[in-house]
Chain A
Amino acid sequence: MPDSPLFTAAAIAVIALAIAVVVAVGLKVLRSFRELGTDAERATYKTLHAASRAGQHLRTGLNPAGAAKASRQLRSLLGCDALAITDTTGVLAWDGAAEELKPALMGLAAKVLEGGHTAVIPAGELQLLANGKAAAPLAPGVERAVVIAPIKAGTRVVGVVAAFAPAAGAGLVRATSEVADWVATQVELAELDASRTLLMEAEVRALRAQISPHFIYNSLNAIASFINTDPVRARELVVEFADFTRYSFRRHGDFTTLAEELRCIDRYLLLERARFGDRVQVSLRIAPEVLSTVIPFLSLQPLVENAVRHGLEAKEGPGHITITANDSGAFAEVTIEDDGVGMDPEKLRAVLAGHSDGEHVGLHNVDARLRQVYGEDNGLVIETAPGEGTLITMRVPKSQPRHDA
């Protein structure tokens, strides 16, 4: 129970850990105070540091959470009393004093949003303009001027930066419009990010494999050859073909489960066997734990088709395909192996890099999709040599809370 030395050991471990943390933090703080350079260097550093911190917060575009954090950095950069960031419809963030002016700000900024030119409202005038609109009358003793500079992304005005100070000198005006331009750059970057994501999604959708026209043509021919000799089998094959196309033409979802994909492969192989007879032999070794793993839609079937088409079709005599799926830590590992003709690794490299003329396009397609969805490290791993068969390994993380099967 509690008096066991287990907890004494745990106590020692916790204390040692705490000491280590304190020492590490202390060293870090000490290091940052050493070697700070001249005043000018420090000023440059401070400005750039504030800018880069604010930049991080604005990377998701103009939204309340990011703007609130960025406005804190930007206010210290400008050294003004209060700093506000708005978009075209409302105030996103207000940092510093004079928050009673908040309801009036959009009215003051309307002209800037429309015209796209920096406006300076001197102290006395602000008082007059604001008193009409503010919820509570302003404290009379406080004199404030405001500089309102537009945030222009491209040609559009997407918001304003407003800096409040006792007096609006030329320095503050210039600095504020520079800050607004800088914010605009960040917003443009954020938009670029967003469009890059959209592009990636579009690419994934475009890469979503279609079943190959060869296969449709060959299957129909094979079925045709059975219509007279074995009508029952022909009928069964047509039903399988219908099921197969229904799965592969489905519109919803970019993901499926391993179990469903295996069922699709089963139908595919049934149709291929109608053509090749016993020349295609398949064995399976599937760990049931990974059957519910989410994988990109039609990502295995092209690999099996590749094994049949390029591995076995060109080979004399029967060929063997082995499909395995294993649980490997946080990943599910699927392998597809054939003992067919194999291929030249150099040629394969060109195929995966996208320099190929239609052959093996399925492999390239699957590889590209896997990299898009799971990151550069999780593409296909292919081991092959001429005459030696091919082993394709695909690793998919088991945990994909963002993907619906």
Chain B
Amino acid sequence: MNPVVGIAAFAAVSLATAVIGFYGLRVSRTTGDFYVASRTVRPWWNASAIGGEYLSAASFLGVAGLILLSGTDALWYPVGYTAGYLMLLLFVAAPLRRSGAYTIPDFTEARLDSRAVRRVTSFVVVVVGWLYIVPQLHGAALAIRITTGLPAWVGQVAVVAVVCVTVVSGGMRSITFVQAFQYWLKLTALAVPALFILLVLAGNGSRAVAEASVNPTAMAPAGPYQNISLLVALLFGTLGLPHVLVRFYTNPDGQSARRTTLIVLGLLSVFYLFPTAYGLIGRTFAPGLAKSGQADALVLLLPGRMIGGTAGDLLSALVVAGAFAAFLSTTSGLVVSLAGVISQDILGGSVRGFRLAALISAVVPLAIATMTDSTALAGSVGLVFAFTASTICPVLLLGIWWRGLTDAGAIAGMLTGAVSCGGSMLAGAMLGSAGTPPWLAQPAAWTVPAAFTVMVLVSRSTQGRVPRTITRLMTRLHTPERPLATER
């Protein structure tokens, strides 16, 4: 591929992000527009922003790559990524918005009235955030290597640098609009080349190289346990993602938080049509990529292969731009929410502290990412979901829906989940992918119930520690708020 294409696409996306970030709100309004200016973010905008922040390297590159490798089994990933929002819609979105807590540690502290719970939650949130940023940087490394031929670390450093500069300089002032823009960019970047590829295929009637049902790598299909475990991880993991939850506070009330989630469900469903299409086209027309270990780069390479020439270069540029939009938006969303947690809990919440915290939360994963390299983006993100599902999700669900949760129970449950799920991940790493039994490779099916059980049992045995403010708090979480306009 033409190296200039990749670099130009990356530069264009970074520039557009920075420009919208800085100038999105520079339009000054006069008093005549006061009402317009003080209007809150509409659910559509916010839903696009959530989509923009949520669709990461795993969705943009990983899903198609996985479908290329393991066929329809991999469809569980997009299903799980999307259906997680159904759980969010049903159980978490509105009550969490009403709680008034801005981060997950804030919520657990307010709900359980305990500093210790706050510290444990903050720790888990930071670990989750870091683990989640690493695959984004791996994606960036892959994209830069494939498209420009530059060494892999260039891509990682470039993404971290752009994110740090925009976040630290306060460039994320209009973060909602940046993220909403990124969603539509990502969708366009996948949809337009996909349509062109389909047109070309229909036009010249080119013959398939392989049958879609033929497995190019001869990998064993996943058993029912693995699929169930994966779905548990993805469904429950979405509930606890720090950068997604923060977005709900942009909604003015619980009801619009629900509407937003509903729209997100639609937006994600539309988006995932395209990685699936890429995966299937790749399986029939470019199965060679699976054998050469470039499955994750399928989305980047397919337009050039299928179309070629200047048109192919332009479409490739579009896909590369979309890929970098995915890395940048997810990473910056995570860095902002991690920096909020770190600066508040360790650095005292000052403006300087926030900047320092933003640097810390971007540079640590960079260090991990440069020392390691990943082979399957969707898989490593799936494991982060499993970790979230076994730690943050039980606290949120029980905290919102069960009066009996106590601080001791929450801590015990989170530690159980963290140790069992983290331990399985490490054990899996030691054993290597061939020697890992399924229950270690996909631990969510037993670690999530374990965390819930421990949390309930320990809470039951420490009923005396239920905070005295529980009734007031529960009322606040579950009763619809007074509409904003009653004063008028």
Contacts and interface: CB of A to CB of B under 8 A. Distances in A.
Q: Do A and B bind each other?
A: yes
Contacts of A167: none
A1 B441 contact: yes
Contacts of B31: 266, 269-270, 273, 282, 284
Contact of A330 (B27, B109, B354): B354
Contact of B351 (A10, A263, A287, A329): A329
A313 to B, nearest CB: 18
Given A4-B372, A284-B33, A328-B354, A292 B487 contact: no
A269 B37 CA distance: 15
Contacts of A243: 487-488
A283 B40 contact: no
Interface stretch (B98-106, B191-199, B208-216, B262-270): B98-106
B346 interface: no
Nearest to B339: A329
Interface string A200-225: 00000000000000000000000000
A265 B35 CA distance: 11
B331 interface: no
Contacts of A403: 100
B273 interface: no
Interface in B435-488: 436, 440-441, 464-465, 473, 476, 484, 487-488
A34 interface: no
Contact of A404 (B371, B380, B476): B476
Interface string B24-66: 0111111101110111110000000000000000000000000
Contacts of A282: 30-31
B50 to A, nearest CB: 13
Given A289-B175, A329-B343, A5 B372 contact: yes
Contacts of A398: 102, 249
A397 B487 contact: no
B310 interface: no
Contacts of A1: 375-376, 379-380, 428, 433, 441
B383 interface: yes
Residue among B170, B172, B173 with max Cβ neighbours from chain A (10 Å): B173
Interface string A284-298: 111111011010000
A399 B108 CA distance: 12
Contacts of B134: 6
A401 B484 contact: no
B28 A285 contact: yes
A7 B425 contact: yes
A4 B380 CA distance: 9
A153 interface: no
A294 B343 contact: no
Nearest to B429: A7
B250 A10 contact: no
Contacts of B99: 401
Interface residues of A, number: 58
Contact of B344 (A14, A330, A402): A330
A371 interface: no
Given A5-B373, A329-B354, A291 B429 contact: no
B340 interface: yes
A5 B29 CA distance: 52
Given A259-B252, A289-B250, A2 B101 contact: no
A247 B488 CA distance: 8
Interface in B216-251: 249-251
B488 A7 contact: no
Main secondary structure of the interface of A (DSSP, over half): mixed
Main secondary structure of the interface of B (DSSP, over half): helix
Residue among B37, B344, B354, B357 with max Cβ neighbours from chain A (10 Å): B37
Nearest to B367: A9
Given A260-B484, A327-B173, A6 B354 contact: no
Given A4-B373, A259-B40, A330-B344, A287 B426 contact: no
A3 B428 contact: yes
Nearest to B27: A285
A2 B175 contact: no
Interface string A390-403: 00000001111111
B404 interface: no
Contacts, number: 192
Contacts of A291: 38-41, 252
A11 B376 contact: no
What is the interface residue range for chain B against chain A? Answer: 35 or more
A287 B173 contact: yes
A192 interface: no
Given A1-B441, A260-B484, A292 B252 contact: yes
Residue among B27, B250, B373, B473 with max Cβ neighbours from chain A (10 Å): B250
Contact of B107 (A2, A258, A281, A401): A401
B372 A2 contact: no
B368 A9 contact: yes
Contact of A287 (B100, B109, B174): B174
Nearest to A68: B464
B202 interface: no
A284 B28 contact: yes
A3 B433 contact: yes
Nearest to B482: A405
A250 interface: yes
B205 interface: no
A331 interface: yes
A356 interface: no
Residue among B38, B357, B426 with max Cβ neighbours from chain A (10 Å): B38
A126 interface: no
B288 interface: no
B429 A2 contact: yes
Interface string B124-157: 0000000100100000000000000000000000
A247 B487 contact: yes
Interface string B152-192: 00000000000000000010111110000000000000000
A239 to B, nearest CB: 11
A4 B250 contact: no
B2 interface: no
A326 interface: yes
A265 B27 CA distance: 20
B372 A285 contact: no
A262 interface: yes
Given A7-B429, A250-B487, A294-B100, A288 B41 contact: yes
A283 B29 contact: yes
Contacts of A404: 100, 476
Nearest to A403: B100
Residue among B34, B176, B425 with max Cβ neighbours from chain A (10 Å): B34
Contacts of A400: 100
Interface in A185-211: none
Interface string A369-405: 0000000010000000000000000000111111111
Leading 6 A-B pairs by shortest Cβ distance: A7-B429, A399-B102, A2-B428, A401-B110, A329-B354, A6-B372
Given A289-B175, A326-B170, 11 more contacts: A1-B441, A3-B431, A5-B373, A6-B369, A259-B484, A263-B35, A263-B38, A283-B29, A328-B351, A330-B349, A399-B100
14 contacts: A6-B374, A6-B380, A247-B487, A250-B487, A263-B38, A285-B27, A287-B25, A288-B41, A289-B41, A330-B344, A398-B102, A399-B100, A401-B99, A401-B110
